[in-house]
Amino acid sequence: MGLTEKDKNALLDLAKNTIAAQLHKKEMPQVAVPSAILKEKRGAFVTLKKRGHLRGCIGYIKAIKPLWETVQEMAIAAAFQDPRFPALKPEELKDLSFEISVLTPLRRIKDISEIETGKHGLYIINGYNSGLLLPQVAVEYKWDRETFLQETCHKAGLPANAWQEEDTEIYIFSAEYFGATD
């Protein structure tokens, strides 16, 4: 995807400093954009873990804003707006690790053999329900392709076998992820 180590470090620092500023009611950090790729519109997720356990994860699936801006907004959302968790408290900041996943565009598939576990993330839509799991989730839990499909259906609030239904849309994408992976 073309991110350099300098780009990755800048995005990680941006996420951490943005959350710290929100927690301590300070001004948002100034954004230094070290390369043009950070100005490109990209989908991205920010994942927060506290002592190795998920503490928040939110992102934009589609490329609607410049990458740096997406990371800044999603850091705030992961820390304070993930409906699965209460808003982050200042004393938790020291225990957080950060991971950023920069996504490729979604590609709809017709045959599940196109899914490469560990390489692809999944986005499943059926009616008003949708769910997304990042590529690294399947690796972390050592899921095979079918389990990954079932778990993505579960995340969407669908029956585990909904991926087999004719009206279910399955999309794949790749992600460049970096940061702490405890």
Q: Which among 49, 82, 103 is the end of a domain?
A: 103
Cα dihedral 57/115/169/59 (nearest 10): 20
pLDDT tens, 154-170?
Answer: 999 999 999 999 999 99
CATH number of domain containing 123: 3.30.1490.150
Extract long-range pairs of 136-141: CB within 8 Å, 24+ residues apart.
Answer: 136/99, 136/101, 136/175, 136/177, 136/181
Q: Are residues 60 and 124 in the same domain?
A: no
Q: What is the model's pLDDT at position 27?
A: 80
Q: Which among 85, 103, 121 is the end of a domain?
A: 103
Check whether 30 has a pLDDT greater than 80.
no
Higher pLDDT, 37 or 30: 37
Q: Which among 45, 76, 103 is the end of a domain?
A: 103
Q: What is the model's pLDDT at position 1?
A: 64
What does 5-38 look like in DSSP terms, one character per residue? HHHHHHHHHHHHHHHHHHHTT-PPPPPP--SGGG
Q: What is the mean pLDDT of residues 31-46?
A: 87
Q: Are residues 99 and 112 in the same domain?
A: no
What does the chain look like in DSSP terms, one character per residue? ----HHHHHHHHHHHHHHHHHHHTT-PPPPPP--SGGGGSB--EEEEEEETTEEEEEEEESS--SBHHHHHHHHHHHHHHT-TTSPPP-GGGGGGEEEEEEEEPPPEEES-GGG--BTTBEEEEEETTEEEEE-HHHHHHTT--HHHHHHHHHHHTTS-TTGGGSTT-EEEEE-EEEEE---
Round to whole Å and give the CA distance between 67 and 4: 14
Instruction: Examine residue 182 and state whether it is found in any structural domain, yes or no.
Output: no
Instruction: Examine residue 179 and state whether it is found in any structural domain, yes or no.
Output: no
Give residue 87's pLDDT band: very low, low, confident or very high (50, 70, 90). very high
pTM of the model: 0.89
What total of structural domains would you count in the chain?
Answer: 2
Domain range for residue 160? 107-174
Instruction: Examine residue 151 and state whether it is found in any structural domain, yes or no.
Output: yes
Instruction: Examine residue 180 and state whether it is found in any structural domain, yes or no.
Output: no
Only one residue has tokens 């599940």, namely: 112
Check whether 182 has a pLDDT greater than 70.
no
Round to whole Å and give the CA distance between 4 and 23: 29
